[in-house]
Structure 1
Amino acid sequence: MSEILFLDGAQTRAALDPHRVLDAVATALVAIGRDEVSVPPRIAAHAPGGLLGAMPGHVPGLGLAAKLVSVFTDPARPGRSSHRGFVALFDAADGRPLALMDAEPLTEIRTAATATLSARALARPEGTRVAVIGTGAQARAQIALLAALDPNAPVSVAGRDPERAESAAALHPAGRVAGGIEEAVSGADTVFCCTGAVRPVIRRAWLSPGTHVSSVGGSHGPELDADTVREARLFAEWPGAATTRPPSGAHELQDLPPERSVALLGSVLAGEHPGRRDDELTVFKSTGHAALDVAAAHVAHAVARAQAWGTRIAM
Structure 2
Amino acid sequence: MSDVLVLDHEATLAALDPHRLMGAVSEALVAVARGLASAPARTAALAPNGLLGAMPGYVPGLGLAAKLVSVFPDPERPGRSSHRGVVVLFDPQDGSPLAVLDAEPITAWRTAASATHSALALAGPGPVVVVGTGAQARAQVALLAVVRPGTPVTVAGRDPQAARTTAALHPEGRAARDIEGAVRESATVYCCTGATRPVVRRAWLAPGAHVSSVGGSHGPELDADTIRDADLFTEWPGAADTQPPSGAHELQGLPVGRRVTLLGSVLAGEAPGRRSPEALTVFKSTGHAALDVAAAHVVHGTVTGRLAQ
Q: Which moved more, 1:45-54 or 1:17-26?
A: 45-54
Inter-partner Cα distance in structure 1 for 2:201 and 2:184: 10
Q: CA RMSD in A?
A: 1.2
Q: CA deviation at 1:2?
A: 5.7
Structure 2 unaligned blocks of 5 or more: none
Aligned with residue 200 of structure 2, among 197, 202, 205: 202
What is the CA distance between 1:86 and its match in structure 2? 0.7
Once the two structures are superposed, the pairs formed by residues 133-172 of structure 1 within 5 Å of their partners are: 133-172=131-170
In structure 1, the residue matched to 2:237 is 239
Once residues 248 and 93 of structure 2 are traced to their aligned partners in structure 1, the CA distance between those partners, rounded to angstroms, is 34
- What does residue 131 of structure 1 align with? 129
Alignment correspondent of 2:226: 228
**Residue identity matched to 1:289:** H
Q: Distance in 1 between matches of 2:249 and 2:52?
A: 20
Q: Which residue of 2 aligns with 1:288?
A: 287
1:159 offset after TM fit, Å?
0.5
Residue 50 of structure 1: CA displacement? Answer: 2.1
TM-score normalised by length of structure 2: 0.97
* Bigger mean CA offset, 289-298 vs 221-230: 221-230
SS in 1 for 2:4: strand
Report the counterpart of residue 179 of structure 2 in structure 1. Answer: 181
Provide the aligned length of Structure 1 versus Structure 2: 307
Cα deviation, residue 242, structure 1: 0.4
TM-aligned CA deviation for residue 153 of structure 1: 1.1
1:214 and 1:193 map into 2 onto residues whose CA distance is 6
Instruction: Name the amino acid aligned to 2:89.
Output: L
Query: Contact (CA 8 Å) 2:43, 2:245: kept in 1 or not?
Result: no
TM-score (ref. length: structure 1): 0.95
Q: Does 1:37 align with 2:50?
A: no
SS of aligned partner of 2:208: coil
Deviation at 1:89, TM superposition (A): 0.4
Alignment of 1:101-140 (within 5 A): 101-124=101-124, 127-140=125-138
Identify the residue that residue 277 of structure 1 maps to in structure 2.
275
Q: Which runs of 5 or more structure 1 residues have no equivalent in the other structure? A: 310-315
Q: Distance in 1 between matches of 2:38 and 2:2?
A: 26
Give distance in 2, aligned partners of 1:157 and 1:85. Answer: 27
Three-state SS of the structure 2 residue aligned to 1:3 is coil
Residues 155, 175 of structure 2: 8 Å contact kept = yes
| Percent identity (aligned) | 69
List, as ranges, runs of 4+ consecutive aligned residues in structure 1 with deviation greater than 3 Å: none
- Structure 2 residue identity aligned to 1:256: L
C-alpha deviation, 1:77, in angstroms = 2.3
Q: In structure 1, give the amino acid aligned to 2:294.
A: A
Cα distance in structure 2, aligned partners of 1:304 and 1:27 = 20
1:249 equivalent in structure 2:
247
The Cα shift of 1:78 comes to 2.2
3-state SS, counterpart of residue 67 of structure 2: strand
1:65-118 per-position Cα deviation (integer Å, ceiling 9, x unaligned): 000111222222222222111100001011111111111001110000000000
After TM superposition, the structure 1 stretch with the greater mean CA deviation from structure 2, 243-252 or 56-65, is 243-252
Aligned counterpart, 1:265: 263
CA shift digits 1:244-302 (9 cap, x unpaired): 11121111111011121101000101111000011200000000000000000000000
CA–CA separation in structure 1 for the residues paired with 2:199 and 2:254 = 20
Matching residue of 2:66: 66
Q: Secondary structure at the match of 1:272?
A: coil
Instruction: Find the residue that maps to 1:308 and give its secondary structure.
Output: helix
